[in-house]
Structure formats: structure tokens, C-alpha cells
Copies of this chain bind each other. A is one copy, B any other.
Amino acid sequence: MIKTPYLLFLGDAPDPLAAKVAQGIRDWRPDHAIGQFRMPGCKADMKLPDMTLEQARDAGAETLVIGVANRGGYISQAWKTVLLEALAAGFDLASGLHNLLRDEPDLVAAAQTHGRTLHDVRVPVVDYPIASGIRRTGKRCLAVGTDCSVGKMYTALAMDAEMQKRGLKSTFRPTGQTGILITGDGVPLDAVTADFMAGSIEWLTPDNDPDHWDMIEGQGSLFHLSYSGVTLALVHGGQPDALILCHEPTRTHMRGLPGQDLPSLESLRDVALQLARVGNPACKVVGIAVNTAALGEDEAMDYLAGLEAQMGLPAVDPYRHGAGRLVDALAAV
């Protein structure tokens, strides 16, 4: 396990979304995050104390967590300088980047010199099976999005938290680096070999009590040209009983794909449901989770009310207003 508490490394994040790893830790395990480290030009801010490496060590931080991702997941030379200083200052490093810490000889050497540990949470550590398609006991909920980075993980985390609060049986099942850094286990799905993707999700969500819900973290979007295959593996490996549609209403094009329009929520509902029913004919779309962070309160409430009328489903921002109504909707499944 990764040693806590963390200093969150935000690097030179080009925008707040790039720091979603740090934001996830900040929001769901705030006790683990005692400070942030930002470089010149950093456009992200976790509203945590800005600390030097020395200040954070003095405050008790054990691990520098790379809380930011750039497109492709590379470790830049500017970052490398900080990471080497952190190892020398006594930090372990934890990362969910594609570019592994362990593949950087200078980091490996420095970790050895200073007796520190490199954690690459993106690397699969299990030999996942090929999916069997066999139904499991227990229930599963999956968030599917009109786009990447629209709040699927937050939705699952918020629903899980609400279930726990109500004394219901629920487990958040992480499928990405942030979720894994938050909970300490899960499947780093985007690093799994293609043939074993669906099988890894079956492995992650095994037989359980009939009244237990797995809240599976979604990835990508069925409509995102770069990552849609990963999403479909979640739909078919997870065999969800319930789908939550996730959306960010101010997005003007698919993330990372200029000129590529977002699908309508109706299209997402229809395509996701048709594909999900291949694995679980009883699957239902039970609600809509909207990331309204870019909207004012009145604007958000108006938007949600309109969407609810349009789609005939509860529509909420689970992070802003709580996931109660989405959890209520699960009871109907």
C-alpha cells in the first residue's frame, strides 16, 4: 500500500481537468492530501496549502503523488527534476501515468540510492481472464458518459458514499488511476491488454450478496473515437443492472477531438442500453448525472429540471447536490 499522507504534485497542469487525479484524492480522501506542489504556469489549484518539498516533509507527507496527466501520459524533463528532488528529500512516488516511473532509469537509481519506493498504479498486477459472459450474483451500476471526463468517477463515488450513509451494501470499483490511488486497489483498465479488458471487469465485480451493489467507475465514452473500445468492455464485462448517463453541458466538442460533436443524451441512452442488454437483458437506465461545475446555481437547477422533463429520468449533479435521488432510483431495479 501507498504510504499516506500525500503531497499532491500538480506540475504545469495546462487546465484544471488535467489535474483530475489530484482533485479526486482531494475530494474523496481529503485527510490524505496535506498540500500541493505547483510549478510555474500551473493552471490547477486544489485549494490546499502550496508547499515546497521540504515544507511538506516537515508536515509529515510520505508520498509525492503525481496528480496531473498530460495527453499521452509522459513524464516531462521539467517534472523529472522535481521528482528526483522529491526522492532525495525522502518521498516515495506514486503515479498513474502511462510513462512508468520504473521505466525511468534515473528515477529508479535515485529511489534505490535514497531507499524510496516507486508506485506505478497504472500497471496491471493480475493476469486477468478472458470474459466468460456468465452472470454473477449481486447488482452492478455503471456510469456511462457522453464524453470523457464528465464526472463518471465522481458519480460512482458519490453514489457509493450515499449507499454507505444509508447502511446499504455498496463497493466502489475503481477502473482508473485516480480511483486506484483513492481506494488502493482496482483495475487500471486503460493499461489492460485488449483481449482481457472485459475479463478484468468481471474479475473486479465478482459474485456478491443479492442486495449488494458494485458502483463501477466508468471510462471514456461509447462515442469517443479514441477510447470507445475501453467503454464497451466495461459495459459488457460489468453486465450492469443499472446505467447512469453522465454529461457536462458546456462541452463544445469531444475532449481531445476538436470538431467532434458530443452525442445527445438520447443517443447515449439508446446505444448504451442496447449494448448493455446483450449482457444483461434486464439492464435499465435509471438516472442522469450532470457535472454542473461550470454553471451558476440557478442555471444548474434550470438545466437539471429541463433535462428531467426531456428524458423522464431523475437528473442531478451528485457532487453539487448529493446522490440521494440516484440511489433512490436504484431501488426500482
- A residues neighboring B (CB under 8 Å): 71-72, 98, 129-133, 189-195, 197-199, 222-233, 235-237, 239, 254, 256-257, 260, 263, 267, 271, 274-275, 278-279
Closest 3 CB pairs of A and B: A229-B233, A133-B225, A229-B229
B223-A278 in contact (CB<8A): yes
- Known contacts A225-B131, A236-B225: A193-B195 contact under CB 8 Å: no
Which residue of chain B has its CB nearest to the CB of A229?
B233
Which residue from B132, B198, B222, B225 sits with its C-beta under 8 Å from A237?
Answer: B225
Give the complex CA separation of A311 and B198 in angstroms: 31
Which residue of chain B has its CB nearest to the CB of A236?
B225
A-B contact pairs, 5 of them (CB 8 A): A130-B226, A198-B226, A226-B236, A228-B233, A229-B236
Question: Within the complex, what minimum Cβ distance (angstroms) separates A229 from chain B?
Answer: 3
Which residues of the other chain, B, contact A131 by a CB distance below 8 angstroms? Answer: 225-226
B228-A230 in contact (CB<8A): no
User: Apart from A133-B260, A263-B278, what are 19 other A-B pairs with CB-CB below 8 Å?
Assistant: A130-B226, A130-B256, A131-B225, A132-B226, A190-B193, A194-B194, A195-B226, A195-B230, A198-B225, A222-B232, A223-B278, A225-B236, A228-B275, A229-B229, A229-B230, A229-B232, A231-B232, A232-B232, A267-B274
Give the complex CA separation of A71 and B271 in angstroms: 30
Give the complex CA separation of A231 and B132 in angstroms: 17
A225-B191 in contact (CB<8A): no
Question: Within the complex, what minimum Cβ distance (angstroms) separates A193 from chain B?
Answer: 6
B195-A191 in contact (CB<8A): yes
B192-A225 in contact (CB<8A): no
Give the complex CA separation of A197 and B191 in angstroms: 11
Question: Within the complex, what minimum Cβ distance (angstroms) separates A181 from chain B?
Answer: 18
Which residue of chain B has its CB nearest to the CB of A199?
B226
Question: Within the complex, what minimum Cβ distance (angstroms) separates A11 from chain B?
Answer: 19
Which residues of the other chain, B, contact A192 by a CB distance below 8 angstroms? Answer: 193-194
A132-B191 in contact (CB<8A): no
- Known contacts A199-B226, A225-B279, A236-B229: A257-B194 contact under CB 8 Å: no
- Known contacts A263-B278, A274-B271, A278-B263: A226-B194 contact under CB 8 Å: no
Give the complex CA separation of A189 and B195 in angstroms: 8
Which residue from B133, B197, B222, B224 sits with its C-beta under 8 Å from A194?
Answer: B197
Give the complex CA separation of A86 and B88 in angstroms: 53
Question: Within the complex, what minimum Cβ distance (angstroms) separates A122 from chain B?
Answer: 10
Question: Within the complex, what minimum Cβ distance (angstroms) separates A191 from chain B?
Answer: 6
B198-A194 in contact (CB<8A): no
A191-B193 in contact (CB<8A): yes
A222-B275 in contact (CB<8A): yes
Which residues of the other chain, B, contact A71 by a CB distance below 8 angstroms? Answer: 130
